[in-house]
Amino acid sequence: ANKLAALARFKSTSSSATSLKQRVEQLIPEKTAEVKDVKQKYGDRVLGETTVNMAYGGMRGIKGMIWDTSLLDADEGIRFRGLSIPEVQQQLPKPKGATETTPEALFWLLLTGEIPTAAQAQSITDELNSRASLPQFVIDLIDRCPSTLHPMSQLSLAVNALQHDSQFAKAYHAGINRKDYWDPVFEDSLDLLAKLPLVASRIYRNVFKDGKHGSIDASVDYSQNFANLLGFAENAEFADLMRLYLVIHSDHEGGNVSAHTTHLVGSALSDPYLSFAAGLNGLAGPLHGLANQEVLRWIIKMQEEIGTDTPTEDQIRDYCWATLNSGRVVPGYGHAVLRKTDPRYMAQREFAQKNLPQDNLFKTVSALYKIVPGVLTEHGKTKNPWPNVDAHSGVLLRHYGLVEQDFYTVLFGVSRAFGVLSQLIWDRALGFSIERPKSLTTESIRAMFEKK
């Protein structure tokens, strides 16, 4: 019965003639009424308590923001609008000849809560392809960056520069009614999504390759275009990897640094370009998006130090202990919220089992999956000894020849845009307030409890 209820909730919209923007417009009154109802009924209810440790500990676990596009369950991982990753992979449409669904189809799901038809997913592909061009000054700006400037810094720079054409900024300046804010935010978000593969691939080709650039093929989907622009046009499997990668990295609740930053900056009515550029600067931090390159570096260093690219389980176990005993962590294991293996890791593992079962690096990753949880449990310092999304992605990219680890976070950034911009559109559609939590001093906390 539960499955039937879920299916009913996720039936595709009956008319494929409706565009995504029209569908969002139809949903706004419904969602606005729902928020109003929840606030009227439960507005003064307590969501949870906040302890002193939470205030000092990065606000971890404080329930204090609304993020409707995805919800993280400690045991089963992320759900996009209620659908698990395997359900997304099974139920969302795939392009002809592809084995994975697309970020375009996911974008429809994230914005509407509904599974798109193949035609609706295609309409997003067409829409993005039609918007995919860069102003000449942005091209010049990217081309003038020294190759020593980190690709994430170049990406953030370019997104800030694209703000020149923000429709929301112009509309706000012209005095748009706040009920209509969502409309130019929607337009900016699609423009930005459309331009990201051109920006990201330009950075990649300039920094790591010959500086020659391809163009958008209007007949193929977003991930195939991105693969082509990067220089992997010949490899159909790589395009499928891009589809998988862009879908599973897109959204992970609202509290992570890149999502929360985009939401926070957007709450000041900064347009999507300014908001997302800020989110990218958070993603560039070693504790957030840089983690996937840290994993690959660690595995390659292990292979070098052991002296083989096919280390035994005992050698791997010893190396893990040596890492932990030297006061370092085994990268790619553990997560702030998750308490089981990250389903994003499993999706990538299944892709590898299907497409690159004999790859030595994949074999090492598989051995780590077998060994590390036991070592970490015995070590006793981690709440979650299981692998997260970062433990696998670098290995897949490397297999297909995308070996430049400094670029991996840029791919993460392109993916994350689909999630955070979906929510940003709803932030404005629902008239969410500027964010302003209360801060305290250490002195004031001491005074609060010592006077009792």
Listed residue (214, 216, 205) closest to 131, CA to CA: 216
DSSP string, 96-109: TT-SS--HHHHHHH
Burial of 333 (0-12, 13-18, 19+ CB in 10 A): buried
DSSP string, 271-316: -HHHHHHHHHHHHTSTTTTTHHHHHHHHHHHHHHHHT-SS--HHHH
Could you say which of 183, 188, 342, 390 is catalytic? 390
- Report the distance separating Cα 127 and Cα 124, nearest Å: 5
Q: How far is CA 321 from CA 58, 63, 168, 301, 342, in A?
A: 28, 36, 53, 15, 23
Beta bridge partners of 71: 79
Burial 27-48 (b: 16+ CB within 10 A, else e): beeeeeeeeeeeeeeeeeeeee
- Report the distance separating Cα 84 and Cα 88, nearest Å: 6
- Report the distance separating Cα 167 and Cα 36, nearest Å: 28
**Is 335 tagged catalytic?**
yes
Centroid of chain to Cα 257? 11
Q: How far is CA 220 from CA 127, 196, 228, in A?
A: 12, 16, 10
- Report the distance separating Cα 300 and Cα 311, nearest Å: 11
**Is 392 tagged catalytic?**
no
Could you say which of 288, 318, 379, 406 is catalytic? 288
Contacts of 194 (CB under 8 A, 6+ apart): 127, 128, 129, 130, 131, 132
Token pair in block for residue 356: 């690159």
DSSP string, 29-92: HHHHHHHHHHHHHHTTS------HHHHHTTTTT-------SEEEETTTEEEETTEEHHHHHHHS
Contacts of 271 (CB under 8 A, 6+ apart): 163, 166, 168, 169, 172, 184, 185, 188
Q: Which amino acid is at 142?
A: I
| Catalytic residue ranges | 288, 335, 390
